[in-house]
A and B are shown apart, each in its own frame.
Chain A
Amino acid sequence: MAWTRKHLLAIQELEAAEILTLVDTAASLQEIASREIKKVPALRGKTVVNLFYESSTRTRTSFEIAGKWLSADVVNFSASASSAAKGESFVDTARNIGAMSPDVVVVRHASSGAPALLARLLPCSIVNAGDGAHEHPTQALLDLLTIREKKGHFDGLSVAIVGDIAHSRVARSNIHGMRKLGVTVTVAGPPTLIPPYTQELGCKVSYRLEDAIRDVDVIMMLRLQQERMHAGLIPSLREYSRYWGLSLEKLRAHARPDVLIMHPGPVNRGVELSPEVADGPYSVILDQVAKGVAVRMGVLLLLAGSKGAEATEPQGGAR
């Protein structure tokens, strides 16, 4: 299906066919990473601004590499080294950056809805690179691409997402995406960290790790955001790790031998994942990171590489 959207704000608003267009485009672009000259001219003359109000290693770096491999000019803005530190408001900063005529602004912000606000304020395309506990669409897309490459398809797959579901934008984007593609999703974690929306979207809920990981194709472990402990949602790190940490013994005893272990990073080794699992043969964590560049190339290309709905689609040189 042809891509017609100007922004990528949330997986929730996409149709299944649009998600597959993004995944397919990313899959086709992966080959560029193995080239001797990792650059194609598709976005020559386009400007991409990375507007990051939260710290990020993987996401910001991979958007930067993605833009550069497509020949776009990429400018990085981080809140700590800018006028935001001098008290400039988000909207003022955004308007100023908008005045410099970027083609795409990639935004990460602690407040849910910040990218949607920018989409109303700025004339350019906006990509949500994570907003509060709302969504992180490109992470879900790279997770979906990783799953499809390893399993070959989405039909009849089942995925367990384990940990702090309530505060995880990665979980929310993945749940929307997977449910739209017909994947069975089980969410698992302490009851205080399982939000009610998961059941509305048709997820199964489990309060025992051993049950959740039985017979699933993929286990997606989430990072325990340690600040949650202070909010009284879990009793202690040690208890969380004992009940919800994935060790090699639990994996061997309860999960299928062909299960994939995924994690959006950064990993708290020894908390949600034991090092033997994170680095072991079931783990596809570094595949996820590699796919991140391809997914972000695909997103930038689809948003910036066209004039969107006004354009026609002539076919080939024949006509």
Chain B
Amino acid sequence: MVSSPRFREKAQVLDAAALDRALTRIAHEIIERNGGAKDVTFVGLRTRGVTLARRLAAKVASIDGASVPVGTLDISLYRDDLDLRGAPVVRGTDIPFAVKDRTVVLVDDVLFTGRTIRAALDALIDLGRPKMIQLAILIDRGHRELPIRPDYIGKNLPTSRREAVAVRLTEHDGEDRVVIEEPEGA
């Protein structure tokens, strides 16, 4: 195994309050854009996208009063770079509702090259034909390699390619925070 370079924190992008405000705004935008939340479903990408999807669903429910289903999508079987990686780690897809004829809001933490979202679109469409798929992203860091554009953005964050964006969420990391990292020794 080639060890990946170590990263150190360069700057904080969002603190807990700013992260929460961004999600609240996105929840309002989703309701506005879809004329309510009646037909809306959330599908989060493993791992942090699922957590963000749950938080968004709770916010939408508290604003609109509608309960919004949340599913989990694992895209490891749809990656275009399986050959470049180690053995795939499959943790499973769990979408306990039919996506057919529903509006699905895909949720992920960071949008970078767009390849993960390409794989997610294929994975989702294999499960049925949604009426519409929208994309909600906490951090859009640019450097797209595919023609993919988010519908809802928490924060646009210009980065250099060698930097990394770490989204830390209480459920996984014990804190709500987004930081930009750079390789050590840079």
A residues bordering B, Cβ < 8 Å?
2-4, 25, 27-29, 31, 35-37, 39-42, 70, 298, 301-303, 305-309, 311-319
Q: How far is A232 from B6 in the complex, measured between Cα atoms in Å? A: 66
Among A41, A303, A317, point to the contact of B112 (Cβ < 8 A). Answer: A317
Residue B127 CB within 8 A of the other chain: yes
Among A2, A37, A307, point to the contact of B83 (Cβ < 8 A). Answer: A307
Give the chain A neighbours of B186 by CB distance below 8 A: none
Residue B116 CB within 8 A of the other chain: yes
User: In the bound complex, do residue B90 and residue A25 qualify as a contact, i.e. CB atoms below 8 Å apart?
Assistant: yes
Closest A residue, CB atoms, query B139: A318
Interface of A is mostly: loop
Contacting A at CB under 8 A, from B87-123, are 87-94, 108-113, 115-116, 122-123
User: In the bound complex, do residue A311 and residue B85 qualify as a contact, i.e. CB atoms below 8 Å apart?
Assistant: yes
A42-B78, A312-B4 in contact; A317/B113 too (CB < 8 A)? Answer: yes
User: In the bound complex, do residue B78 and residue A318 qualify as a contact, i.e. CB atoms below 8 Å apart?
Assistant: no
Closest B residue, CB atoms, query A3: B87
Give the contact stretch, choosing among B10-18, B24-32, B59-67, B164-172: B164-172
Q: How far is A302 from B85 in the complex, measured between Cα atoms in Å? A: 11
Among B77, B111, B128, point to the contact of A41 (Cβ < 8 A). Answer: B77
What are 29 residue pairs bridging A and B, where the CB atoms are less than 8 Å apart in the complex? A2-B86, A3-B86, A25-B89, A25-B90, A28-B92, A29-B90, A35-B127, A36-B127, A41-B78, A41-B122, A298-B90, A301-B77, A301-B87, A301-B88, A306-B87, A307-B83, A309-B1, A311-B84, A311-B85, A311-B86, A312-B1, A315-B4, A316-B109, A316-B116, A317-B113, A318-B109, A318-B166, A319-B4, A319-B164
